[in-house]
Amino acid sequence: MIYFDNASTTKICESSLKYINEFSVNNFYNPSSIYKQGADNKKEIDAVKSIIAKTLGVEFKDNIIFTGSATEANNIAIQGSIKKNFGKLLFTEGEHPSVYNTASYLKNKGFNVEFIKLNKNGEADFDDFAKQITENTSFISVMHVNNETGAINNLDKFIELKKNICPNAIFHSDGVQAFGKLKYALNNDIDLYSISAHKIYGPKGIGALYIKNKNKINPIIFGGGQEYNLRSGTENIASITGFKGAVEEISYNSDNVKAIRDYVIKNLEGDFKINGNGSPYILSISYKGINGETIVHMLEENNILISRGSACSGSKVGNRILSSMGLPNDYVKGSIRLSFSKNNTIEEAKIVTQKLNECVSKLKGM
């Protein structure tokens, strides 16, 4: 089987599994327990946070919390930031549903929520951002790498303008598809940054949120007060150490995924457009006049797994993000996403490209 759906999730690595096993069986103790075994696990959690902080290019100062997913991290970042008399909230139209749907929920509740358009490359449109940002803006969320197109937003540029116009606004970024793949040291003016383990060969069900200043955030769930009272619930020591295993294996060498992506693009046939051209890990292709879902299932019959867009919008015919980029409707329907991992090979790329070309030519002839 060939797996080209790594933006959806990745296969767990050996080093994650080793830690998960160790901290599920031998060191399973509750990190909040006051005996030594519990205290040791608490120390281990802080050690993992330090490793993550280093990877984010920041110093660890009790400024990272673990969550049950990046979805949860995004929800805490947004909903936890809201205060009475909050000003405008700005989000991009490219956001993952965990941000976009939270923003829509707040808009329905009466908050002043606006969305920044995307340009034809899938990046948040800077001119539109400049038009919409005001002195009254309280919260800005710009994702780092788009999960459907791989488009990369230049966060530093957005932050520069924010600093001039509304220096006290909170700046959040969803870093899920960037972390561990795109080498980037967090800009000192990023307040909140969300990440997830399962996109980088770690376990599912564990995310983290970097929080520059904990005083600016309120909890959205209440309980035993774990994670500086910002994310109650017994710490998932096994998955946290599993996250560590994945982070320890990060290498920013993307030569093999670049070669795979380039090979596929060069050898594709038919009437298609490539959407976005940022992250080498993601390739979004839109064919004219054929159905992307049919392609996904035809490839599946050939033991090749890809997706339509994000896994979360897998079964929907429309595509909010591609439409926002201005892609015509007859291409939107024919969209698929190939996403790569360090384990994929050029031989796999050759097989997938050949099968893809065959499927497209069959569907065109129908």
| Edge-to-edge strands, sheet with 282-287 | 272-275, 282-287, 335-339
Pairing of strands 192-196, 207-211: antiparallel
Q: CA 17 to CA 237: how far, in whole Å?
A: 13
Q: Does 141 bind ligand PLP (CB under 6 A)?
A: no
Minimum distance between the CB of residue 241 and ligand PLP, rounded to whole angstroms? Answer: 17
CA distances from 41 to 15, 24, 83 (A): 18, 12, 34
Nearest residue to 186 (alpha-carbon basis) of 59, 290, 69, 284: 59
Q: Which of 13, 166, 312, 359 is catalytic?
A: 312
Q: CA 238 to CA 284: how far, in whole Å?
A: 34
Q: Which tokens is 68 given?
A: 């049950």
Instruction: Report the site for ligand PLP in 84-103 (rule: CB under 6 A).
Output: 96, 98
Binding mask 156-175 for ligand PLP (x = CB under 6 A): ------------------x-
Which CB atom, from 99 or from 166, has the smaller least distance to ligand PLP?
A: 99
Q: CA 332 to CA 313: how far, in whole Å?
A: 13
Binding mask 194-233 for ligand PLP (x = CB under 6 A): --x----------x--------------------------
Q: CA 340 to CA 305: how far, in whole Å?
A: 11
Q: Does 177 bind ligand PLP (CB under 6 A)?
A: yes
Q: Which of 41, 69, 137, 153 binds ligand PLP (CB under 6 A)?
A: 69
Q: Which tokens is 304 given?
A: 């090749």
Residue 13 appears among annotated catalytic residues: no
Q: Which of 310, 313, 324, 344 binds ligand PLP (CB under 6 A)?
A: 310
Q: Which of 137, 147, 149, 239 binds ligand PLP (CB under 6 A)?
A: 147
Residues belonging to the active site: 312
Kindly list the residues in this chain that would bind ligand PLP in the complex (CB under 6 A).
69-71, 96, 98, 143, 147, 174, 176-177, 196, 207, 310
